[in-house]
Structure 1
Amino acid sequence: MDLNLRKAIISNVSGNSASDLEATIVDAIQSGEEKMLPGLGVLFELYWQKADESEKTEVLETLEQAVK
């Protein structure tokens, strides 16, 4: 992913409230548009960088179940 795209996505959501971020995520998922995937990826990356090991384990277990 182009670093400029990552910065643009972060800039677009910087300062958003939790409800704003939720709306962004829900909209991206409901729209089903491929162009939304990079934004979701950047949000996931930001989450992952801040998550502790137990949160990461929980996410991985949830993802494992989701892809079965």
Structure 2
Amino acid sequence: MNLNLRNAIIHNVSGNTQAQLEDTIVDAISTGEEKMLPGLGVLFEVIWNHSSEQDKQEMLSALEAGLKK
């Protein structure tokens, strides 16, 4: 079976409202299960690919600050 995980994840959340997307993200983070990491990675990829250069710099600054804690 040839399953494209990225496409499956995108298909599962396509059409979701912002509230549903937030619930998905918060749930994935709060459970702390490693099996949720690929899904979060795909969602981050979508965010990154649809962000301006300024938004990307802000995300990188937030990431850098979060990793220094």
**CA offset at residue 42 of structure 1?**
0.2
TM-score, normalized by length of structure 2?
Answer: 0.94
Identity of aligned pairs, percent?
63
**CA offset at residue 3 of structure 1?**
7.0
Moved over 2 A (4+): none
Unaligned runs of 5+ in 1: none
Residue matched to 2:16 = 16
RMSD value over aligned CA atoms? 1.3
Residue matched to 1:28 = 28
- Which protein has the larger Cα radius of gyration, Structure 1 or Structure 2? 2
Unaligned runs of 5+ in 2: none
**CA offset at residue 46 of structure 1?**
0.3
The structure with the largest helix share of the pair is 1
Residue matched to 2:7 = 7
TM-score, normalized by length of structure 1?
Answer: 0.95
**Aligned positions, number:** 67
